[in-house]
Structure 1
């Protein structure tokens, strides 16, 4: 899913107050973590992922893996924090995607 600049700006404003709910450490990104991130995105639509100091992963590499394996969009990368968005398939969880569609 390609996001326009206006949509990314909206998602960044929504994510500003969020705390990272996933941390990627020295183990890197694994299949179990990808499943959990997918489930969290299904519920929340917008999350933050943090890369810890002891990881060998680069933020851009993690972003590429998440986009490919989970099918999400990266709204922002600041240092070691990624803002990840994926519209929910369940109507009751689509608050952000409904607002985003209006832009």
Structure 2
């Protein structure tokens, strides 16, 4: 994915509210399932991670993207933005 598409997705995600919150127990199978359900429904989602350690949040982001074959769009503070194109895309990315 090129930088123009990433910038476009970041602009779309600006108005989104987090649909999944990851608490102190971390990334469990049920959390991954909930993220997958929301990716199927929306393609672009915002996730809030309740952990103060940046390296833990980055590892969760990479684990989410690897497990669900998604793309990390942005990571700022406690929020991450993840995108996965649906079989019938709702979001048309710029070329």
Partner of 2:22: 24
Counterpart check, 1:33 vs 2:24: no
TM-score by length of 2: 0.90
Q: Is the 8 A contact 2:72 2:83 kept in 1?
A: yes
Aligned-partner Cα distance in 2 for 1:54–1:11: 25
**Structure 2: gaps of 5 or more residues:** none
Partner of 1:46: 44
Aligned-partner Cα distance in 1 for 2:11–2:29: 30
Q: Deviations over 1:13-71 (max 9, x none)?
A: 00000000111111100011111111110110000000115789722111111111111
Q: Which runs of 4+ in 1 moved over 6 A?
A: 54-57
Aligned-partner Cα distance in 1 for 2:31–2:55: 14
Which of 71, 74, 80 aligns to 1:73? It is 71
Distance 1:20 1:57, change over 3 A: farther
Q: Is the 8 A contact 1:74 1:85 kept in 2?
A: yes
Q: Is the 8 A contact 2:20 2:34 kept in 1?
A: no
- Superposition pairs for residues 56-71 of structure 1, below 5 Å? 58-71=56-69
Partner of 2:80: 82
Which of 81, 92, 95 aligns to 2:90? It is 95
**Structure 1: gaps of 5 or more residues:** none
